[in-house]
Each structure stands twice: as C-alpha cells, then as structure tokens.
Amino acid sequence: MASRMTIRMPPCDGYGAGARARETLAGWIMAERFQFDIHASDGLARSGLIRMRRGEIRTPAFMPVGTAATVKAMKPESVRATGADIILGNTYHLMLRPGAERVAKLGGLHRFMNWQRPILTDSGGYQVMSLSDLRKITEEGVTFASHLDGSRHLLSPERSTEIQRLLGSDIVMAFDECPKLDQPREEIERSMEMSMRWAKRSREAFDAGGEHATAAALFGIQQGALDEQLRMQSAQALTEIGFDGYAIGGLAVGEGQEAMFATLDFASGQLPETAPRYLMGVGKPDDLVGAVERGVDMFDCVLPTRSGRNGQAFTWSGPLNLKNARHAEDTVPLDERCPCPACADYSRAYLHHLVKSGEILGGMLLTEHNLTFYQALMQAMRDAIGEGQFASFSADFRRDYLKS
C-alpha cells in the first residue's frame, strides 16, 4: 500500500541520546539543509525526495561517479541531461590531485567542475584500504603512500571530514575501514568497532565545521561484512551517534549477488526507516532492482561509465558488447526505448566501428547512453513504486534483462 511520510529531523525516538540531543537544533535550519520525504512504498521498496540547498534528489537515486572532479567522457550539463540529480566525488583522489586546499581556494568543487547541484563525497577510506601494501592502520587513522608520487599522508576521521568540507561537499561520508571479507570474524569485528569509533569522531569533526555544518549533511556507514549480528551492532552504534542518512558499506567487494542480497535482507532493516539508505559501490542494473526491493534508496557505481569506455552498453534487453562482430552490419539502435544521442542518431554498426577503431567518440556515446539508461531505470522504479506495481515491474525487468 502506498504511504507518505515527511521527515524534517534525523530520527530521534528510540535511536539514542546523541540523536535526541540534535533535536534541539533549530528546525528551520535542519529542514533547509536536509529533508527526506518518503512519498510512497510498495513492500520494502520506497520512493521519495531528498531536499537540500543545491537541489532535490529523487529516490531511488543513482549517483554517477566523478572520481577526479569529472564524470569521465561527459560534460556536467550532459550528466544532468541524463536525469542525474547528484554526483559523487572522490576524497582520496582529490586530496592528492589537485588538493583539497587548492579546490577550496578556487571556490570549491561545485565551481571548479561546473556542477551546481548536490555532490556526495566518499570518505577516502575504501581507496586507502585498497592500498594494502602502502598503508598502516592505527586508532588515529591510516598512514599511506600516495600511488602518484609515494608521498606520505595521514587520513583520519578529522582530516577526511576537513577535506570534504574544503571541497564543499553537500553529503559528507564518515571515515571508515572496509575489511576484506575473507578475514576471520574476530578481525571483522575489530574493524567494525574501530569504524564506529571513527564514526563518532567524524560526527564531532563535522559538527565543528561552522558554516559548512549548517549547509551539508553527514551519513554514517554500517560495517560488519556478511555477519548479521555485527551489522546490527554497527547499526545500533550509528543510530546512537545520529546521522542524516546511513550507508551500507563493505558489500560489492567480491561476495557475489546472492550473498549481497542475503546481507541486504537484514542489513537494510537494521537502519532507521526514516532516513535514506545508501548502498555503496553498487552496481549492475539487476543489482539495483534487487536492492530497491530490499529498501535501499541511493546508489553509486563506476560501472556505467567504465563499461561505456570499454564498449559495453546496458539496455532493457540486457548488456551488449559492441566489440562483437555480430554488430558490424546491424543497423538498429542500441535500444529503441532510449532517447539518448547514441540511440537516436547512430546504429549499432557505427558504434561497433567506433569501439573497434578506438575512437574517443565511441566511449563518449556509450557512456552517455549507459548513464541515460541507469537514470531511466531509476525513474521506472520510482513510477512502479508510486503505482504499487513494483513486484510486477521487477519480475518483468528480470525476464527481459536476464534473458540475454
């Protein structure tokens, strides 16, 4: 049954003293900087709207990844034209080049890259954790060597938050550690508990951020790998601290779709119902549909842009590899349902030629198509939820998409 719920404050009742204390903040400030409305629900799936000072974000939402202050092969106005309401910037890469202080000096990330709508910045934790041979983890933070020039850096909850403030992020992510899934449970538990201590320090650093703290939002990140009990402990710690939204971290790291969905079956419901839930780093189109079925509201992934640059296109009938010779004389568009320039103006044969020839235009057109497809998928899910038809939509989508 469809329902409507309007949330103007972070969840308080039943979510701990830290969250209740923030209820004393002026309501008009909270509503102006961050407001989450759930417009409709269908099963666990929900559609809604996040309101922020730089614009509205329709949920479920997919955020194109702009790692180094650019969504690769796309101009900002073209990204917006695909239907994107928000993009993601990468703290680790921007701190190394061109540097957060330089971006701040140049007017902030929005002005620097000419994107005036909301930007979510990750904490840098995932990228640092992937540098297993170049970093050392302590309670203070992570000391690591730059992959660019070997220079040494310390990334802590305080420094990560400071970098995101210098960038001018609209949604700031708490600093966390993402452990490998194959580690012993004791190590995953140790890592999760440290991430929760880092989450509290991130909260304190964000709240001390002056004007930025009155304009931006802060999301915490649930950890615990595939373990239901550890995920619950993490969720309880985060809600005690109190955040504007909650991310599900530590998935899409090689566990496979079945294990990811099994974890989402309990992890999503452990997080406050009244706040946005963000599944980090996901994913394939069928991943998105399955996660929305399980109550997730926000996503990011490099897949549509990276795949586009490598000759793969996503369509309603499944993914296509434009490198395949079967497309060499195919005069039909990539997807007759898609309004993007690649589909409106060019044939599969021409796109095959561009990809095989290594022409830059091929990557540009396929990237724009993939981002357009992802945003169309999100809109289709929002519509289906609003109409109370999400179960039939998801069944039809899987039938058509997975048949290839």
319 and 211 in a common domain: no
Q: Tens digit of pLDDT for each residue in 157-174? A: 999 999 999 999 999 999
Show which residues are catalytic. Answer: 122, 300
201 and 259 in a common domain: yes
- Residue 124 in domain: yes
* Structural domain for 334, as ranges: 308-401
Which pLDDT does position 404 carry in this prediction? 62
> Where are any strands of DSSP class E within 80-122?
87-89, 119-121
Rounded alpha-carbon distances, angstroms, from residue 255 to 22, 67, 292, 377: 37, 24, 19, 24
119 and 234 in a common domain: yes
- Residue 32 in domain: no
- Residue 255 in domain: yes
- Residue 166 in domain: yes
d(CA 357, CA 380): 34
Which pLDDT does position 127 carry in this prediction? 78
157 and 73 in a common domain: yes
Looking up residue 169, the CATH number of its domain turns out to be 3.20.20.105
216 and 268 in a common domain: yes
Q: Tens digit of pLDDT for each residue in 385-403? A: 999 999 999 999 999 999 8
Last residue of a domain, one of 301, 318, 335: 301
383 and 240 in a common domain: no
- Residue 51 in domain: no
Last residue of a domain, one of 282, 301, 320: 301
Phi, psi of 363 (to 5 degrees): -65, -40
Using left for φ > 0, alpha for ψ between -120 and 50, and beta otherwise, residue 221 falls in beta
Using left for φ > 0, alpha for ψ between -120 and 50, and beta otherwise, residue 124 falls in left
340 and 218 in a common domain: no
120 and 102 in a common domain: yes
Alpha carbon 2 to its chain centroid, in Å, reads 26
110 and 257 in a common domain: yes
Give the SS3 label for residue 272: coil
- Which uninterrupted H or E stretch holds 42? strand 35-42
Q: Per the structure, how many domains does the chain have?
A: 2
- Residue 288 in domain: yes
Q: In a structure prediction context, what are the per-residue pLDDT tens digits for the chain, which is 404 residues long?
A: 343 333 333 333 333 444 444 444 444 344 579 999 999 999 999 999 999 999 999 999 999 999 999 999 999 999 999 999 999 999 999 999 999 999 999 999 999 999 999 999 999 888 776 776 778 899 999 998 888 998 999 999 999 999 999 999 999 999 999 888 989 999 999 999 999 999 999 999 999 999 999 999 999 999 999 999 999 999 999 999 999 999 999 999 999 999 999 999 999 999 999 999 999 999 999 999 999 999 999 999 999 999 999 999 999 999 999 999 999 999 999 999 999 999 999 999 999 999 999 999 999 999 999 999 999 999 999 999 999 999 999 999 999 999 86
- Residue 36 in domain: no
Using left for φ > 0, alpha for ψ between -120 and 50, and beta otherwise, residue 276 falls in beta
283 and 150 in a common domain: yes
353 and 227 in a common domain: no
257 and 147 in a common domain: yes
Last residue of a domain, one of 285, 301, 317: 301
- Residue 22 in domain: no
